[in-house]
Chain A
Amino acid sequence: MKAVVTVTGKDSVGIIAAVSNECALCSVNIVDITQTVLSDYFVMIMLVNIDELKMPFDEFVDKLAALGQDKSLDIHVMHEDIFNTMHTI
């Protein structure tokens, strides 16, 4: 099972490191990353594997949301099914 992590906000040093570190601590493996900076605005989409996740999924969602709050970023974690369902027939 996979989930999509989206991170948006003002660019600063160490965003990818912080998010990746949190993922590693939760045993979440990063499968793919797309990242760009548009006039100081940081946008990253990560596809992660949650098969080995050490906690219930909603706790992981809360953990990353809290990290986002700490760093003034908007971090969402959503199960990949919502995107597959919406955009494929």
Chain B
Amino acid sequence: MLNTSDILETINMISQENLDVRTITMGISLFDCVSEDENRLCDKIYDKITKKAERLVPVGCEIEKRYGIPIVNKRVSVTPISLVGGDISPEGYIKVAKALQRAADTLGINFIGGFSALVQKGMTKSAERLISVIPEALAETQMVCSSVNVASTKAGINMDAIARMGEVIKRAAYLTRDNNSIGCAKLVVFANVPDDNPFMAGAFHGIGEDETAINVGVSGPGVVASAIKRAGDCSLSELADLIKKTAFKITRVGQLVAMEASKKLDTPFGIIDLSLAPTPAIGDSVAHILEEMGLETCGAHGTTACLAMLNDAVKKGGVMASSRVGGLSGAFIPVSEDAGMIAAVENGSLTLEKLEAMTAVCSVGLDMIAVPGDTPEAVICGIIADEISIGVANTKTTAVRLIPAYGKSAGDKIDFGGLLGSAPIMSINTRSPERFISRGGHIPAPIHSLKN
């Protein structure tokens, strides 16, 4: 028999503490869509996505009703488009982006990810063409997300690709200047990108994946923060245990939803991503968890330690609750999407340098950070190179989603609305790394990548 207090706990988590399933993401392989003709390629891509994910949204809604838990996003990720584009022209890649947008409109999903390229070791012609039109593709579509993997622990860091991404980010900001440079919010630069990430903007369906797969991202920072608050002045060992237990419960819901979606959609279950993903809503903030742990404000000395412990405990609890874990799996710290982070930046407690340190112990990186629109390209490249180095040296995923908001300067604020939230423009160190970036070439893989 069910226990009354367990029932009330679950209902309280959902209604008061913002427990939700952040996303059901269906990964779809597009390898069988390859064609010499770009129009034919677009048609095949549109047809395959709309056929495979036809029932994704209705099934998501059905599961929401059945278990009484909100499933905030229904998304699709596809094979990196640079791998299926072949010899098509740059304009052809823009057509593909538009085909992805049409498919997203037809399905009624929230985002579609995979306008991506993997260039950690070198850049193929098709990757180069795709990257050259990322700004246009993002400006001319609404739901298409793009990512570029510029480094890995095995391959080292492709600095030419980073230099290229500096340009791309600046141009994406310019082309979407009428909308707070929102193009940059849909573009991520990665190191060690995972193949099965369900979270946007970095999701794509990797090359070693099934034909289709269901990947689920859970959430629940509010639940963890409330549990810590209730625990009062206990020791950190007790707190770690409490976070593990809470993460277990949150992840079990994700597992249940994933298995149900997999069954109803007749699609193999991929992974559960154990990330704690915040939203701009009050009571759904990772920063507030850190503050509940005992910091005056997020960004204070001690923040990195708290985050490291939180991230570890979430994984330990989550891994036991799921049959297969993957994706990014860690706490997210996107500034614009987290009410506590926004407040910490605004009161001067949280700086870019501290955020960078925090990314060494959690996923995923410098995420949704708005910087002045006149930030030089070389500085953006320097920020990317620093962040990517943390990932490569620590054999972990790191990423950069930076918004050099056109026409804005430090102290201004941009508002995207919805899950993307609003971001204060952060002041940054603008001393130039130009000579370093313009050297180009490759930063070799670290010695510890040679494990065989």
Contacts and interface: CB of A to CB of B under 8 A. Distances in A.
Interface of A: 4, 6, 32, 34, 45, 47, 57-58, 61-62, 76-87
B2 A47 contact: yes
A88 to B, nearest CB: 9
B256 interface: yes
Interface in B20-67: 62, 65-67
B256 A85 contact: yes
B10 A82 contact: yes
Nearest to B260: A81
B2 A84 contact: yes
8 contacts: A4-B7, A32-B1, A77-B68, A78-B69, A82-B67, A82-B256, A83-B10, A87-B2
Contact of A81 (B11, B62, B67): B67
Nearest to B255: A85
Given A32-B1, A76-B68, A81 B256 contact: yes
Given A47-B2, A85-B253, A85-B255, A6 B65 contact: no
Interface string B243-271: 00000010011011000000000000000
A57 B3 contact: no
A81 B68 CA distance: 11
A79 B2 contact: no
B4 interface: yes
B6 interface: yes
A86 B66 contact: no
Contacts of B256: 81-82, 85
A79 B6 contact: no
B4 A86 contact: no
A57 B249 contact: no
Nearest to B250: A86
Contacts of B10: 78, 82-83, 86-87
A86 B256 CA distance: 9
Contacts of A57: 65-66
A6 B7 contact: yes
B253 A76 contact: no
A86 B253 contact: yes
B245 to A, nearest CB: 11
Interface string B56-96: 00000010011111000000000000000000000000000
A19 B249 CA distance: 30
A37 to B, nearest CB: 15
Interface string B359-398: 0000000000000000000000000000000000000000
Given A58-B62, A85-B255, A78 B6 contact: no
A40 B45 CA distance: 59
A45 B4 contact: yes
A69 B210 CA distance: 45
Contacts of B62: 58
B68 A87 contact: no
Closest 5 CB pairs of A and B: A78-B68, A58-B65, A87-B6, A82-B67, A85-B256
Given A78-B67, A85-B256, 12 more contacts: A4-B7, A6-B8, A6-B11, A45-B4, A58-B65, A62-B65, A78-B11, A78-B69, A82-B256, A86-B249, A87-B3, A87-B6
A79 B66 contact: yes
A61 B253 contact: no
Contacts of A83: 2, 6-7, 10
Contacts of B1: 32, 47
Given A81-B256, A82-B256, A83-B10, A58 B66 contact: yes
Contacts of A77: 68
A45 B7 contact: yes
B246 to A, nearest CB: 11
A31 to B, nearest CB: 9
A80 B253 contact: no
B24 to A, nearest CB: 16
Given A58-B62, A58-B66, A4 B253 contact: no
A82 B2 CA distance: 11
A76 B380 CA distance: 49
Contacts of B252: 85-86
A61 B69 CA distance: 12
Contacts of A79: 66-68
Contacts of A76: 11, 68
Given A85-B252, A86-B253, A80 B2 contact: yes
A87 to B, nearest CB: 4
Contacts of B6: 83, 86-87
A57 B65 CA distance: 8
Contacts of B67: 78-79, 81-82
A80 B65 CA distance: 13
A9 B60 CA distance: 29
Nearest to B11: A6
A38 B112 CA distance: 48
A79 B7 CA distance: 11
A33 to B, nearest CB: 11
